[in-house]
Structure 1
Amino acid sequence: MIIRILLYLLLFIVLKIHAQNNDSRLLLGFNYGFGSEFNNKDYTFVNHFYKAQLYYKLKETKHFQYEILVQPEINFAKHQLLNFYFVKPETPDFEQKREEYTKLKDIHEYVLNLGFLIRKPVSKNISVYLLGSVGPMITDTETERMSGGFAFADVLAVGFSLKWKKIQFDIRPEVRHVSNAGLGSTNAGYNTKNIEFGISYPL
């Protein structure tokens, strides 16, 4: 239901902006990515995800292009607590929670990230870029590291784009941090390293 609302929102934004702009400032695309936590002894976290991508070129100078990016995303993750001492004895019902949290869990995350991108063309068909994005997220599973419900996803990425005719292909390594900014009772969050592959087309 949430991802459907996000896709309707994306479609509305596309139609709204496209009605005002007919100079190919817009690209619409799709990305697939996967990753895992940075190596640690406390927990495992592996994920894969799908993103719709709406690029809008704000400005172009002699050396750079500046773009904003809207990214509805659904993320599928598996998580398990390895170090049960992470749940401390002062935690209410800590023994029960240690037993619960050390089980392997499936987590679904529904995200709407908003990003800013600085692109450096290398040639007519090749460019590199730096991307930062942040956005609200709903997670459906409580763990020892984060309460279920509302949270935020932050991403910092570098990317490589190749254009072939009108199609743009992307490879994007990134780091991702997820937490709830202290809005929930538990907020250690997750830190992952991911890589995305994408394809987009001008509108």
Structure 2
Amino acid sequence: MINYWFISHTVVNGDELRARFMKPKSINEYVLNVGLVYRRYLNLNSSIYTTLNSGPMYIDTDTERLKKGFSFSDVISVGYNYKVKNVSFDAKFMFRHASNANLQMPNFGLNSSGFKIGSYYEFN
């Protein structure tokens, strides 16, 4: 937890919760997403694309924003791909939201964003 004021002082055990959640911790998530890709070719070698995927997730640690257990992970991304023969270079920006659909409390959700860059080889 980065925001000290996320847990109100009016909560009965607010100081105890704040002390518990402000400690650094490791969180493991296990996710299986299924998604769609929309790609628009700019020419023979380059394209832009967007992805949208969603699926079930298990988180193994309680956080101040999300209860340990079953949740959902949703990801949207926008990227650019450039291909030279069998090698592709790829860069994309993505946004992710994880929440448990109010199956458990708390359910404020976990939001994250990231940037990926990489390359891959296509075997013929």
- TM-score band by shorter chain is 0.7 to 0.9
TM-score (norm 1): 0.55
TM-score (norm 2): 0.85
Question: What residue ranges of structure 1 are gaps of 5+ in the alignment?
Answer: 1-79
Counterpart of 2:82? 162
Larger helix share, 1 or 2: 1
Distance 2:33 2:50 in 1: 15
Matched, 1:128 2:56: no
Larger strand share, 1 or 2: 1
SS at match of 1:106: coil
Alignment of 1:47-126 (within 5 A): 80-83=1-4, 85-88=5-8, 91=11, 93-126=13-46
Counterpart of 1:151? 71
Matched, 1:138 2:58: yes
Runs of 4+ in 1 over 6 A off after TM superposition: none
SS at match of 2:17: helix
Deviation at 1:90, TM superposition (A): 6.4
Distance 1:135 1:199 in 2: 25
Counterpart of 2:98? 178
Structure 1 counterpart of 2:98, one-letter code: V
Aligned Cα RMSD in Å?
2.0
Q: How many residues align?
A: 123
Counterpart of 1:65? none
